[in-house]
Amino acid sequence: MGRRSKGSVREQPGPAGYLIVDKPRGQTSHDVVDAARGWLGIRRVGHLGTLDPQATGVLPLVVRGATKLAPFFGHGNKTYVGTVRLGAVTDTLDGEGEVLKRYEGVLPDEATIRAALAAFVGEIEQIPPMFSAVKRGGVALYKLARKGEEVERESKKVVVHRLEVLRFDSPDVEISVECGSGTYVRTLAHDLGQALGCGGYLASLRRLQSQPFGIELAHSFEVCEEAARAGKMDDLLIPPEKGLDFPIVRLAAQGARRVENGGDISPGTLERSRPGTRVTALGADGRMIAILELRADRRLWPLRVLPA
């Protein structure tokens, strides 16, 4: 018998939604996606924001038709708890890399550290680390870094909403960070060390929130593996409409069919809303059907339609 291609393998049917995984240390985000594909028996799984291999915590995955919703995420705030180790600089800016330089002097006290951290709150400039997924000429920087190459990187503006010291036990500083998307906590750790004149790197990191999903919604690998053995993985999924901050409209059967076929519908009570207003459309059975947008013609048009 001929070998079937991946595209011809029938995937396990089930609902669309989000699976929030508490990523363990040492796993890449893609490793977690691959694991989830095995747990669910499907290929349509993606993630909503990379976590470094050494980091743990909230990694939201999109499952089945919810993969179509990925473009509507990525701009929410992130919350982390991490440990900055002062007194050394590494090539990866974290504890996984090689030490490039050690500081032999007396390390700064807590008051000096708190004062230095204040300069990193608000809109700041960051240079992406070489060991990152940022691309240069179509090639990820970490691939160049592994070859020993270092290239010029443009700084970018990021926002740090809150940055606090939770605990100080020299040389370690435990910090809490709330920041906008695109912020590298590794770079924060390195830049703090530079500002203090003693060097520093990120020794550990745990993500507690990737809006709108918090750690209380996250499942460990052990829980997911047990659910997979019991055939109950779909019970762990969060319905797709729960992750979107859009008003909800419920459609009758005729309107739902029209939207599923790419057609527009009447806005109803949304007629006086501003063009560009987006809503989540549910069918009579409560299943999410689509994201709709109010256009200048005062009609609701589908932006994304989820497969049945």
Cβ atoms of 93 and 55 within 8 Å: the answer is: no
Q: 292-297: long-range contacts at Cβ-Cβ below 8 A with a sequence spacing of 24 or more?
A: 292/249, 292/259, 292/265, 294/267, 294/270, 295/264, 297/264
Catalytic residue among 52, 172, 245, 297: 52
Strand partners, 238: 18
Q: For residue 105, give both structure tokens.
A: 């002097």
Helical pair 29-40 and 221-229, crossing angle rounded to 10 deg: 20
Q: For residue 101, give both structure tokens.
A: 């330089």
Active site residue 52: yes
Cβ atoms of 283 and 289 within 8 Å: the answer is: yes
Is the Cα dihedral 144, 57, 193, 177 positive or negative? Answer: positive
So which residues are the catalytic ones?
A: 52
